[in-house]
Structure 1
Amino acid sequence: MAEPVKVDLDEVADIAAKLKSAAGNLDATGETAPEWLDAGDLTETIVGDFAHLLSNAGNLVVNMQAFGNTVASAGNCYDTTDTASADSYSGGLDVN
């Protein structure tokens, strides 16, 4: 028989929180972007590259936040399903 799957819900919540925190920290770095840049003949190229980097960082922030929410949702779903299954199997008795 296969071993039962055990999920540490505190660990799942910690992973979700770390993803959301990292997204917030990365997002906050955008506030420190320089408003003006003079790089001589390379200014246009550097500004374009910088804009591309900031756009990609923005996409990363959005996706990390969404992934953190998905991890948290999955943990909640697992907990709800596991509890309902345990209650059904035990006839509603508290087996802890």
Structure 2
Amino acid sequence: MADRLTVDLVLLESISDRLRRSGTSLRATGSRAPRHVDAGESTPIFAELLARLSESSAGLAAGLTEAGLRVSDAGQMYASEDSAAGQRMSGVS
């Protein structure tokens, strides 16, 4: 059993960056989606499908970006609190 917690801040920032880039990439892909589709009699169905898909991908992109920001914030908070705890412990010795 581990007697201490180790957080890899570089790894956290890498995860954060990947999440944010994925959100940006998905958002860009969604903006290139066709706005109108010609599917004959099925056009209204496909138009609705594209609208829902676009809305869902926009929500996912926002979620990925938000998750990336939260991971980054958590890493920064951990580093700050760990540093402060280390300074308090140094003062006790």
Normalising by the residue count of structure 1, what TM-score does the alignment of the two structures yield? 0.90
Q: Does 1:84 align with 2:84?
A: yes
The CA distance in 1 between the partners of 2:53 and 2:92, in whole Å, is 54
Q: Is the 8 A contact 2:39 2:46 kept in 1?
A: yes
Matching of residues 1-96 of structure 1 within 5 Å: 3-91=3-91
Report the alpha carbon displacement of residue 31 of structure 1 after superposing the two structures with TM: 2.5
Structure 1 residue runs without a partner (length 5+): none
Report the alpha carbon displacement of residue 79 of structure 1 after superposing the two structures with TM: 0.2
One-letter identity of the residue aligned with 2:69: N
Q: Deviations over 1:53-87 (max 9, x none)?
A: 00000011111111111000000000000000011
Q: Structure 1 vs Structure 2: percent identity of aligned residues?
A: 31
Query: CA-atom RMSD, angstroms?
Result: 1.7
**Which runs of at least 4 in structure 1 moved beyond 3 Å after TM superposition?**
none
Q: How many residues align?
A: 93
Q: Is the 8 A contact 2:36 2:47 kept in 1?
A: no
Report the alpha carbon displacement of residue 2 of structure 1 after superposing the two structures with TM: 5.2
Structure 2 residue runs without a partner (length 5+): none
The CA distance in 2 between the partners of 1:7 and 1:71, in whole Å, is 12
